[in-house]
């Protein structure tokens, strides 16, 4: 009878280890996304919005801007080129309030608050705040890039 319990006990131990490893993957992935999001926001402040968005975008990125979709990294580059406002200084700041990751650790999302500030040629500052939602996908090289914003 005791010999029959051994496979059952081994199965239970294996399942417990598997669950623990799944939780580790999720927590590690959450931390990686939060670090990437922080670096993304920092790059946007220091080097400009377009440079940061192009650096952290996946090749198959999709953005919704002005009720239109911008699909793919090349289209994103064109979008920033076409929408450059030479007479305004624009800054974008944000911070995630929440992050969630798939059990497999290869897809996640964040959301939080953002603020866009622009200064026109006369020095008039306008500000707009809102909520962002970003979907992140782990790339083959292990880096996180956003696929939806």
Beta strand residue intervals within the chain, DSSP E: 57-65, 68-71, 89-101, 107-119, 125-138, 144-148
Task: Give me the pLDDT at residue 121, please.
Answer: 83
Q: Mean pLDDT throughout 52-61? A: 98
Given CATH 3.10.450.50, say whether it is the number of domain 2-148: yes
Task: Please give the pLDDT value at position 83.
Answer: 82
What percentage of the chain reaches a pLDDT higher than 70? 84
> How many angstroms separate the CA atoms of 119 and 123, rounded?
5
């Amino acid at each position: 009878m005791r010999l029959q319990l051994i496979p059952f006990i081994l199965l239970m131990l294996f399942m417990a280890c598997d669950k623990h490893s799944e939780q580790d993957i999720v927590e590690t992935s959450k931390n990686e996304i939060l670090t990437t999001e922080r670096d993304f926001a920092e790059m946007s402040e220091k080097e400009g919005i377009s440079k940061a968005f192009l650096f952290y975008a996946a090749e198959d990125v999709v953005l919704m801007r002005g009720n239109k979709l911008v699909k793919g990294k090349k289209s994103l580059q064109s979008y920033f080129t076409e929408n450059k406002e030479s007479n305004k200084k624009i800054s974008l700041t944000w911070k995630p309030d929440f992050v969630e990751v798939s059990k497999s650790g290869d897809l996640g999302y964040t959301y939080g608050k953002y603020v866009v500030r622009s200064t026109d040629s006369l020095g008039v500052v306008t500000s707009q705040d809102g909520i962002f939602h970003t979907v992140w996908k782990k790339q083959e090289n292990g880096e996180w890039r956003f696929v939806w914003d």
